[in-house]
Homo-oligomer: A and B are copies of this chain.
Amino acid sequence: MKIVIDAFGGDNAPEEIVKGAVAAVNSESGFTAVLVGKADVINSLLKEAEYDKTRIEVINASDVITNDDIPTDAIRKKRDSSLVKCFDIINSDEEAAAFVSAGSTGAVLTGAVLLLSRIKGINRPALAPLLPKIAGEGQVLLVDCGANAECKPLNLLQFGVMGSSFMNAVFGVKAPKVGLLSNGTEDKKGDELHKAAFELLKENENINFAGNIEGRDIISGEYDVVVADGFSGNIALKACEGTAIGMFDLIKKGIMEGGLRAKLGYLLLKPALKGIKKKMDYNDNGGAVMLGLNKIVIKSHGSSKAKSICASILQAKQLHESNFIEKIKAAMGN
């Protein structure tokens, strides 16, 4: 099994991407990492690393797509970019089962939609990050967090189907509890789109639909899958993220301004606070998965360092073994 990695995507590319790939092959067996990008740069970074040389392939791509590029233009015109090359490999090499990128979200999404094949019956792929649960163990899958700014009711139903199959296949969750993100918990809440999606989700016998949920319920621990249109799903994700980061900033400020007493208190509370930070920092556990495609696509955070990239690569391997794509196909009646 090959995992294709965009070595030139992300704020810390290529150094941290290459380091992450080396760390991944050194920590688990059973896959080959394919690093795509300027081969001379990648090779010189690999030269100093210690790893099983048979397990990292380097494929040259002379161009790079950045956050400043317009995604649709870049995907169409930069045919020799590391990103487009990755998609080419995914399409042409049967062994290439997964793709990992920390590059421009827009370009990864656009490229995946334009260049990769979709699961039969799925109208729109969705980007789905795994978020921490405040109470209880495990994680909650948010589908969609930004691939589709405009959605139709059928898209939201399919997000529920894919999310349920994913949580079942990957984490063994039986009858994953699905909530529809809306502006209130009552059955009749929401705009026309969400009211119609509510009915479709409710009628579907393969979904354990728990009804409408609010923004505060996403990471509460009550739900396994949260279905959202990509516009409000993105806003919700960033709002949770921003508040969590902001609160750590406030705690830090409180400690700095609280004198010796607060600093001493911090030292004693440090293990507990570190545990919380680790729990809330979901990026360290891998990237967001794109659901609805025939191959595994993982989008790591743009600011990913080696640790996150390594986590995303190992996540790709785990996802491959879970056979979640086959489970989605089965749920779609394929």
Q: Which residues of A contact B (CB under 8 A)?
A: 106, 134-135, 146, 149-150, 181-184, 189-192, 194, 214-220, 230-232, 234-247, 249-251, 254-255, 257-258, 261-262, 264-273, 275-276, 279-280
Closest residue of B by beta carbon distance from A189: B149
- For the complex formed by this chain, how many copies does it contain in all? 2
List B contacts of A261 (CB < 8 A).
Answer: 268, 271
Closest residue of B by beta carbon distance from A246: B134
Closest residue of B by beta carbon distance from A252: B272
- Give the shortest distance, in Å, between A245 (CB) and chain B (any CB): 7
Pick the 7 closest A-B CB pairs, nearest first: A216-B242, A265-B268, A254-B272, A215-B238, A265-B269, A215-B239, A134-B246
Q: Are B232 and A258 in contact (CB under 8 A)?
A: no
Q: Are B273 and A251 in contact (CB under 8 A)?
A: yes
Which one, B135, B238, B264, B265, contacts A249 given CB within 8 A? B135
- Give the shortest distance, in Å, between A287 (CB) and chain B (any CB): 18
List B contacts of A258 (CB < 8 A).
Answer: 269, 271-272
A sample of 19 more A-B contacts (CB under 8 A), given A215-B240, A265-B265, is A149-B183, A149-B189, A149-B191, A191-B231, A214-B234, A216-B238, A216-B239, A216-B245, A220-B242, A231-B232, A235-B235, A239-B239, A240-B240, A250-B276, A254-B272, A255-B269, A258-B272, A262-B269, A262-B272
**A232-B231, A255-B272 known; A242-B215 Cβ under 8 A:** yes
